[in-house]
A and B are shown apart, each in its own frame.
Chain A
Amino acid sequence: MKILICLSNVPDTTTKIKFTGDNTQFDAAGVQWIINPWDELALTRALEIKETSGTTIEKVTVLTVGKADTEPTLRKALAIGADDAVRIDAEPKDAYQVAAQITGFVKEQPYDIILCGIESSDYNGSTVGGMLAEFLDSPSVSSVSGLFLENGQIRLNREIDGGQEVLETMIPFVAIVQKGIAKEPRIPSMRGIMMARSKPLTVKPAVAADELTGFTAFELPPPHAKCKMIDAENVGELVKVFRNELKII
């Protein structure tokens, strides 16, 4: 079996967010780029499955749709342990366009298990994984917090409002993963970093794909009003707020 992990390249989660061009563009100056946290967990889980299931998993590939500046992120994924990397040479603009790019590649080179993250931490789309599944006409399971391969059978845990479900699925399929899929993201070892240099990173040309959406403007939330302080000896004041203002008691 082959596993594909779709990676989005996002600003480090502590980045101070600024915009340029009259608030029409994200200001990428000085930004530290990372693998989207959920995608990093997905990669970690794929490697765990590969290591514990004998020879069942032939390879773990990572893929990103992006320009050349996303290659360090792919190299990092290789250093963590992916076998090879693919970059589709297109500027990601819209989920429909990105999913169509990935579809073009997967139709040419099929994978049994495709993993996407629940959302990119930049534009919080939660969209590409589901769109990809529909383009491929594959089953999809989302909010996946556990993925297991036992005797060639796939088991998944899915988070639902108010509990958890256990599912099985046919192959190929798309899993859209979230927290819980792996405990901690793996970090590259020195040896991993050395080996990553000689692992294949293939660049594929973009296919024709439509963009159906685009961000036209941004704004920062209004500055926060100053916190009103209540004396610790006088919690009754807070209870008054509960009753009169917030109406929760």
Chain B
Amino acid sequence: MSVLAFTENWDGKFKKISFELVSYAHQLAAQMNTNAVVVSIGNVPEEELKKLGHYGASKIVRVEDNRISGLINKAFTAIIAQVAEKEGADVVVFSHNFTGKALAPRVAVRLRAGMASGVNALPDSLDPFVVKKGVFTGKAIGHITIKSAKKVLTLFPNSVEAIEADENAVIETFTPQLSDAHFATKVLEVKKVTDKVLLTDAEVVVSGGRGMKGADKWAPLEELAGLLGAAIACTRPVSDEGWRPHGEHVGQTGKIVAPNVYLAFGISGAIQHLGGISASKHIIAVNTDKDAPIFEAAEYGIVGDVQQVLPKLIEAVREAKKQ
């Protein structure tokens, strides 16, 4: 018996989302009276792997194969399923990000496991196994029961804390059985966005809507984001108009974000936009219209013109940072 977590790495490094996942696996394993095991695929230095132990992993299974470059769903699925079998995993957990969404359903079929995706808490109960997840894009919460013996979960980012729990993790190397058929897709090129805070990773997101009034009006918003170490986001019409790149579009049809703080400037708060931000811990809105729906989702609000509020806010943040 065990709980297995798949931790993705970025150029050999883990991120907060990886530690959250290991911590979740550890707490779940404790409820089940068993241990949390981690599987890591690709080149990760030993001291980086050790960090997973600080969040409760008792064993780390490292898999390296020189054919692996980038995410190849079939190969990764086979590896994770083989490790799950070897470790007798009852529950396999992934992060609910691009990679987790790609792999978890495939692994679930391999293990004949029922799957609950985007869960945001530890199970309500283990027998029956019931766990909570957001449904209708944040408009409601569902309690889903998994009836199969094996289970696969994906954990919604930022929904649990990464709690330190010192386990002296043993690191073990595993050689998977893979054939050429596992490598039917090939990554030809990677275009990275560098030296910017990643939207889906950010603690603070500064976002603008049509109320920003044009493609050339974003300098203050960028400046504020810089001061707060925040990522920049926007609404759909803003990216459709080409004011901002598509990668910044947040909402039901764009990215789903769950930062600690989401600052909305000139955003009306349409239901489709809220769908992508409702898991944020704190929402703050600036809008000229006191009746804008965004204020119903926000915790703090300022009724005002972004072009006047932003410079003042930048000034005040700058002053506060000096102290």
Contact = CB atoms under 8 A, between A and B. Distances in A.
B300 A227 contact: yes
Contact of B301 (A95, A143, A227): A227
A134 B110 contact: yes
A125 B187 contact: no
A246 B261 contact: yes
Interface in A79-132: 94-96, 99, 118-119, 121-131
Interface of A: 11, 13-15, 17, 19, 37-38, 94-96, 99, 118-119, 121-131, 133-135, 139-143, 155, 158-170, 173, 176, 179-180, 211-221, 224-225, 227-232, 235-236, 238-239, 241-243, 246, 248-249
Interface in B93-127: 96-99, 101-110, 112-118
B187 A165 contact: yes
B184 A232 contact: no
Contact of A140 (B106, B116, B146): B106
B30 interface: no
Contact of A96 (B114, B144, B189, B297): B114
Closest 4 CB pairs of A and B: A130-B105, A212-B114, A232-B304, A134-B109
A232 B185 contact: no
Contacts of B116: 213
16 contacts: A94-B114, A95-B115, A126-B101, A130-B105, A131-B108, A143-B101, A162-B192, A163-B191, A173-B184, A212-B113, A213-B146, A215-B135, A215-B145, A232-B304, A235-B312, A239-B319
Contact of B271 (A13, A128, A139, A214): A13
Summarize A's interface: helix, strand, loop or mixed: mixed
A163 B192 contact: yes
B292 to A, nearest CB: 10
Give the interface centre of B114, B136, B200, B278 by most chain A CB atoms within 10 Å: B136
A96 B309 CA distance: 50
B105 A139 contact: no
B22 interface: no
A65 to B, nearest CB: 16
Nearest to A223: B296
Contacts of B192: 162-163
Interface of B: 10, 70-71, 73-74, 77, 96-99, 101-110, 112-118, 130, 133-148, 154, 184-193, 198, 200-201, 203-204, 227-228, 246-247, 249, 252-254, 260-261, 271-272, 275, 278, 282, 284-285, 295-305, 308-309, 312-313, 316-317, 319-321
Nearest to B285: A227
Given A127-B117, A212-B146, 20 more contacts: A13-B271, A17-B136, A37-B253, A121-B137, A124-B133, A124-B136, A126-B117, A130-B103, A130-B104, A131-B108, A131-B115, A139-B185, A141-B185, A142-B73, A213-B144, A215-B142, A218-B143, A220-B140, A221-B141, A249-B228
A221 B192 CA distance: 37
B271 A96 contact: no
B298 A232 contact: no
A217 B141 CA distance: 9
Contacts of B74: 139-140
Contacts of B260: 246, 248
A96 B115 contact: yes
B304 to A, nearest CB: 3
A167 to B, nearest CB: 5
A216 B143 contact: yes
A221 B109 CA distance: 32
Contacts of B302: 229-232, 235, 238
A130 B101 contact: yes
Given A173-B184, A235-B302, A216 B73 contact: no
